């Protein structure tokens, strides 16, 4: 971040003109944890708001190695060839540890990263999952304001990050590997509940039959779950990200999901619920942050924590004395 902070209104104006350097600057601003930048970032997002919300927001999840980046690379170049502007963002809670994921993501999606109609942004590396997810959500809005009409948010298949991503997209796609039937037992039920579309990847050559068997099992497993939107039974597809097979069908299912949920009234409701949930998540984060930033308060909480641990003070009483300190 340059020492001279950007003017949010001016940045928003440049962004809406599709200026790439303005987008990069805007993202740096929303990713900044400095208090003064946070206020500017809020102003920037407010200024961008009228231009947001028009993109197709697609989440893609799956275990490492399932073929997320291969599939996104292929799907992404298909979409840009079709005249769309595609942004790819990542929520990877592990990237704060590994660092330097920029190179990783560029090489992982080699064609899309070179595509002038696409923008590939690696996971912000700072902070907790909550922080990373919040920045990604804000980055998504900035990309929309900059005119991207498809925003793909990629995440690895770990519980909390999947939920965070499902909470910011319209359609949540889960990639699976073709496997023997018993593999299905290892799948967490939670992920099936989040999925709007399931795609069994690597379904080419000798894998094709296994993938179809796996698809049949997922279809059976999904039948016993209550669909989140009653008008939408999640389809199970077979694709090959590497060979580019089945991706047309996959994309048409993404669009069909949007159409069906819009017609059912679930689309707008989900987006509105997501906004409100986001408000509360941020508020909780900030309030908690405030509690623990105050040094006296922090010391007091530590002391009470020790007393609760030793059984000297009841947890209820500890909360009462903390709240009393806040004037409650």
> Locate tokens 């990713």: which residue?
31
**Is residue 95 part of the contact set for ligand GDP (CB under 6 A)?**
no
Rounded to a whole number of angstroms, the minimum distance from the CB of residue 12 to ligand GDP is 33
Rounded to a whole number of angstroms, the minimum distance from the CB of residue 254 to ligand GDP is 18
Q: Count other C-beta atoms under 10 Å from residue 130's C-beta.
A: 15
Choose which of 13, 229, 242, 322 interacts with ligand GDP (CB under 6 A): 242
Q: Count other C-beta atoms under 10 Å from residue 148's C-beta.
A: 24
**Is residue 17 part of the contact set for ligand GDP (CB under 6 A)?**
no
- DSSP 3-state of 234: coil
Cβ atoms of 234 and 195 within 8 Å: the answer is yes
Nearer to ligand GDP, 23 or 169 (CB): 169
State the binding string over 145-174 for ligand GDP (x if CB under 6 A, else -): ------------------------------
**Is residue 240 part of the contact set for ligand GDP (CB under 6 A)?**
yes
**Region near ligand GDP per CB under 6 A, out of 58-66, 184-192, 217-225, 298-306:** 58-66
**Is residue 64 part of the contact set for ligand GDP (CB under 6 A)?**
yes
- How far out from the chain centre does Cα 45 lie? 18
First to last CA, the chain: 39
Range 247-286, binding ligand GDP (CB under 6 A): none
**Is residue 68 part of the contact set for ligand GDP (CB under 6 A)?**
yes
Choose which of 6, 8, 62, 93 interacts with ligand GDP (CB under 6 A): 62
Alpha helices in the chain (DSSP H): 8-16, 20-31, 35-48, 68-81, 95-98, 101-108, 110-114, 129-145, 159-166, 189-194, 207-223, 247-264, 266-293, 295-310, 315-325
**Region near ligand GDP per CB under 6 A, out of 10-18, 68-76, 229-237, 254-262:** 68-76
Residue 151: what are its φ and ψ, rounded to 5°? Answer: -120, 120
Rounded to a whole number of angstroms, the minimum distance from the CB of residue 174 to ligand GDP is 11
From 70, 143, 135, select the one nearest 278 (Cα to Cα).
135
Residue 109: what are its φ and ψ, rounded to 5°? Answer: -120, 70
Nearer to ligand GDP, 67 or 122 (CB): 67
Interacting residues with ligand GDP (CB under 6 A): 62, 64-70, 108, 201-202, 204, 240-242
């Amino acid at each position: 971040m340059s020492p001279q902070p950007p003017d949010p209104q001016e940045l928003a104006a440049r962004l809406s003109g599709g200026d790439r350097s303005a987008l990069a600057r805007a993202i740096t601003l929303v990713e900044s944890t400095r208090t003064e930048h946070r206020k500017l970032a809020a102003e920037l997002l407010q200024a961008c708001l009228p231009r947001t919300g028009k993109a197709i927001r697609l989440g893609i999840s799956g275990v490492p190695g399932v073929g997320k980046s291969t599939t996104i690379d292929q799907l992404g170049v298909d979409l840009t060839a079709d005249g769309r502007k595609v942004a790819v963002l990542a929520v990877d809670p592990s990237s704060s540890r590994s660092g330097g994921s920029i190179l990783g993501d560029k090489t992982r999606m080699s064609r899309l990263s070179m595509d002038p109609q696409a923008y590939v942004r690696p996971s912000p590396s700072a902070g907790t999952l909550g922080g990373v997810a919040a920045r990604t959500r804000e980055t998504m809005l900035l990309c929309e304001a900059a005119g991207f009409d498809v925003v793909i948010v990629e995440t690895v298949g770990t519980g909390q990050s999947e939920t965070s991503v499902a909470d910011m997209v319209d359609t949540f796609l889960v990639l699976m590997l073709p496997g023997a039937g018993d593999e299905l037992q290892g799948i967490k039920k939670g992920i099936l509940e989040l999925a709007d579309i399931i795609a069994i990847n690597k379904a080419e050559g000798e894998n094709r039959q296994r993938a179809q068997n796996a698809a049949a099992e997922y279809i059976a497993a999904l039948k016993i779950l209550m669909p989140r939107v009653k008008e939408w039974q999640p389809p199970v597809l077979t694709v090959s990200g590497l060979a580019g097979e089945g991706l047309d069908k996959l994309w048409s299912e993404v669009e069909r999901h949007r159409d069906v949920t819009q017609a059912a009234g679930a689309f707008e409701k989900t987006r509105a619920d997501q906004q409100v949930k986001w408000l509360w998540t941020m508020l909780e984060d900030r309030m908690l942050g405030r509690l623990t930033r105050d040094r006296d308060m922090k010391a007091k909480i530590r002391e009470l924590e020790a007393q609760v641990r030793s059984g000297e003070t009841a947890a209820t009483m500890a909360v009462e004395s903390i709240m009393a300190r806040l004037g409650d």
